[in-house]
Structure 1
Amino acid sequence: MINVLSKGGGVFAGEQLMQSMLASGMCFGDMSIFHRYANADGTGKILFSMANGVKPGTFTIDNLEATETPALSLFMSLPGPEKPMQAFALMEETARRLALDLGGELKDELFSVMTQQTLEHCRQRIREYERKQLAKQPVH
């Protein structure tokens, strides 16, 4: 999980938020949250998702321009994308773009500063998952 928090206790404005999400390839979908799909046209498997950082975590698409939120949560589930490391890299890139566009900062799942060490720990967990999946495959 990567959280994008507004700096200084501010909020992200809905119109800016919508423009940035669409520019990042996010599509509104199931569970009233945004998803990044394997294909740019919104088809294929979900690579990662983004929820509103304010409970209940959903977005109202009809009123998104008027929405204000102090936080966004990007997350990826395993098993999920066929290439989890690539999906995580895209999720990190998307979180960085949103933070830059909206004037936010990256935080980890505990809302501490997202450091390179934290990101590397996430990558190690994905590599471990991939290793376990390979070990489960039958040998021909």
Structure 2
Amino acid sequence: MAEQLRWVLIIISVIVIGGLLIHGLWSVRKKDEPATPADERVEPTEQAPVQQTAAEPIQERSAERDEPQFGDLSFSAADEQPEPQQSVEQTPEDLEEPKAESESAAPAADFIIVHIQMPEGMVMEGSKLLPAVNTLGFKYSEEGFFNRHLDPAGLGPVLFRLVNMYNPGTFDIDNMEQFSTAGISLFMTLPCDGDGLAAFNMLHSAAKKLADEFGATILDSQREEMTVDSVREYVEKVRSFCA
């Protein structure tokens, strides 16, 4: 009986040891086997997002270089709306005829400006102003102001101009009955065509007649009342340009 039990234990031991050996050999062989094609297909799929992510910043930077940037050019509603017009004095530069810019002659270097200002609270009515300027030989121009030509019929070079002292600086010839202004301005450009002193004398004479007609005051370019000294300074300026 003891002999039989001993052989049974030996057989079981052999089976257990053999099983362990077989399991160990199988594990080693499993580790040494190369990756299957299925495993190889999975790896590129896992790496693809990494490659795509790395390329995206390059594309974005390239787009930033190629496209114009407008971040510094923002506009507000105030920028888009024009400023309301105010009743301010006009300058001869603002009212010069557009065609003068395209002429080959050199631009005017200076101006003779004489203002005719109404007393405070009073205005010149257009119904009286129009016949007055027509009598003095002024001709209405397409630009909206009155020109005094060398020939009273409106021929020859322009000697000086008459404009509205206040915005918009022009006159609406079709609505002079409804028009009124607190002042007008006469100006001539220097150098001038022809006899500059004769043109200035004509301008000064027209200013005095208009001032007498409307009870207005003649002012110089500084908006100070015209004096004998102011007239002399104007004469010397005209001589310096038109001698």
Q: Confirm or deny a common fold (TM above 0.5).
A: yes
Contact 1:45–1:80 (Cα < 8 Å) also in 2: no
Q: CA deviation at 1:111?
A: 1.1
Q: Which has the higher helix share?
A: 2
Equivalent in 38, 47, 57 of residue 159 of structure 2: 47
Contact 1:46–1:80 (Cα < 8 Å) also in 2: no
State the TM-score, normalized to the length of structure 1.
0.89
Q: CA deviation at 1:31?
A: 2.1
Range moving further from structure 2, 96-105 or 77-86? 77-86
Contact 1:96–1:106 (Cα < 8 Å) also in 2: yes
Match for residue 230 of structure 2? 118
User: What SS does the aligned partner of 1:38 have?
Assistant: strand
Q: CA deviation at 1:65?
A: 2.1
Match for residue 69 of structure 1? 181
What stretches of structure 1 move > 2 A for 4+ residues in a row? Answer: none
Q: CA deviation at 1:79?
A: 2.6
Match for residue 134 of structure 1? none
Q: CA deviation at 1:30?
A: 4.1
Q: CA deviation at 1:66?
A: 1.5
Q: More relative contact order in 1 or in 2 (CA 8 Å, sep 6+)? A: 1
**Matched length:** 131
User: Within 5 Å, which residues of 2 pair with 1:96-111?
Assistant: 96-111=208-223
Match for residue 128 of structure 2? 16
State the TM-score, normalized to the length of structure 2.
0.52
Q: Which has the higher strand share?
A: 1
User: What SS does the aligned partner of 1:73 have?
Assistant: strand
Q: Supply the RMSD in Å over aligned alpha carbons.
A: 1.1
Q: Aligned partners of 2:144, 2:135: CA distance in 1, in Å?
A: 19
| 1:112–1:85 Cα change, 3 Å | same
Match for residue 27 of structure 1? 139
Equivalent in 92, 109, 114 of residue 204 of structure 2: 92
Choose 1 or 2 for highest CA Rg: 2
Gaps of 5+ in 2: 1-112
Contact 2:192–2:242 (Cα < 8 Å) also in 1: no
